[in-house]
Amino acid sequence: MYRLSFIVLLLLTLDVQGQNPHGDNLVVDCKACHTSNGWDYVDTLSFDHANTDFALEGQHEFVDCKACHSELIFESANGDCMSCHEDLHAGTVGNDCIRCHTTNNWLVDHIPELHEQNGFVLSGAHATVNCISCHTSDNQLIWTRIGNDCINCHLDDYEATSTPPHAQTGFSTDCAECHSPLSTEWGSDNFHLFFPLTGGHDLDNCTACHLPNTFEGLSSECFSCHSNDFNSTTQPNHVSSNFSTECTECHTINGWSPAEFRDHDAAYFPIYSGNHKGEWNRCTDCHIQEGNYSIFSCIDCHEHNKNDMDDEHNDEGGYRYESNACFNCHPKGEADD
């Protein structure tokens, strides 16, 4: 009986000694981690974790083995971040932790680039806004997607704006139609993109052009807003002179003065080029009859040269010291025309 018990004990001992508590797939010399004094592992392991699918880099280099390997079969430990780390973002940013974090720390120093990858560039006023101003939640680490349309964040601004009243007037909720995402403020140089409010049009009061609550159907033609200016101008008188109502022929959006009729050179007589460039200050220097710009004078400026002109033209048939005659022979204002 004693002999039988000894044999059973021996067989059980041999069976235990033949088992690997770390699983059959771990083929490592036991002395790489243990000593003959016991199963506690040595202070300096000769086992190289880089030989596995998970290299110990950054903070993982200093983590106790048991923090990740909760059981002796090491291969059962999952290499995914979520298997060890609690998802404080509650699934709102996915499970690819290394997209935002490194193994060195949890800090994220490339938020603008990440935001751009998600389709919303942090530019203009968005470059300095606090994250929780848009991503509101009980936990400031939860980044629930809110959509890339402006109105998703700016509905309160839209409804509260009274100059002009956006909601009551039925303005589009596509803020980019009037406001630029690249700007740092609502009323920037990029405001009113369909009709730039620059120069003389840089107005604070919308009703200067728009009647109360009327923001559609306005013509972009100058005369549609400036007919009163056209009709009341007397220096020169635009109406009696039959001036064109195309204001941009003479004026710019920077103001009414200085006014320049650059088409004058090609259509009538060179006054911005040639000999007459810089020789006059106002229209009435040549057009001496107010309100009639078909009448012009050459001899009012050139009369001090009459005797010289008479001598110079004494052999020219039909010569007269008279403005229309001057123009007939010198339509470009040059002496050798």
- At 195-254, the pLDDT tens digits run 888 888 888 788 888 877 777 778 889 999 999 999 999 888 899 888 899 999 999 999
Q: Has residue 288 been placed in a domain?
A: yes
Which residues 6+ apart lie within 8 Å of 246 measured at CB? 222, 223
Whole-number mean pLDDT of the chain?
83
Q: How many domains does the chain have?
A: 4
DSSP state of 33: T
The three-state secondary structure class of 255 is strand
pTM over 0.85: no
As a whole-number percent, the residues of the chain with pLDDT over 90 amount to: 20
Of the three residues 218, 234, 252, the one that is the final residue of a domain is: 218
pLDDT at 18: 54
**Amino acid letter, residue 95:** N
**Structure token digits, residue 245:** 């109502």
Least confident of 6-20, 107-121, 298-312: 6-20
Q: Are residues 158 and 214 in the same domain?
A: yes
Model pLDDT for residues 96-114, shown as the tens digit of each residue: 898 899 999 999 988 889 8
Which residue in the block uniquely carries the two structure tokens 């002496």?
335
Report residue 81 as tokens.
Answer: 């971040």
Residues 231 and 323 in one domain: yes
- Of residues 11, 105, 111, 9, the one with CA closest to residue 57: 105
Give the per-residue pLDDT at 277.
93
Same domain, 321 and 235: yes
Are 42 and 10 within one domain? yes
User: In this structure, are 232 and 307 located in the same domain?
Assistant: yes
Question: What is the three-class DSSP state of 237?
Answer: strand
pLDDT over 80 at 4, yes or no:
no
pLDDT exceeds cutoff 90 at 70: no
Q: 3-class DSSP state for residue 40?
A: strand
Higher model confidence: residue 191 or residue 271? 271
Picking from 57, 79, 101, the residue at the C-terminal end of a domain is: 79
Task: Say if residue 155's pLDDT is above 90.
Answer: yes
The residue written with tokens 């200085």 in the block is 258
Tell me which of 130, 148, 166 is where a domain ends: 148
Query: Residue 337 falls within a domain, yes or no?
Result: no
Which pLDDT value is given to residue 21?
Answer: 85
φ, ψ at 237 (rounded to 5°): -75, 110
Could you tell me the residue range of the domain that residue 191 belongs to? 151-218
Q: What percent of the chain has pLDDT over 70?
A: 91
Give the pLDDT confidence of 299-329 residue by residue, as tens digits. Answer: 888 877 788 888 888 888 888 889 998 898 8
Higher pLDDT, 149 or 8: 149
pLDDT score recorded for residue 10: 38
Q: What does the pLDDT read at residue 173?
A: 92
Rounded Cα distance, 165 and 214, in Å: 10
Task: With respect to residue 52, please indicate whether it lies within any of the assigned structural domains.
Answer: yes
Residues 6+ apart with CB under 8 A from 305: none
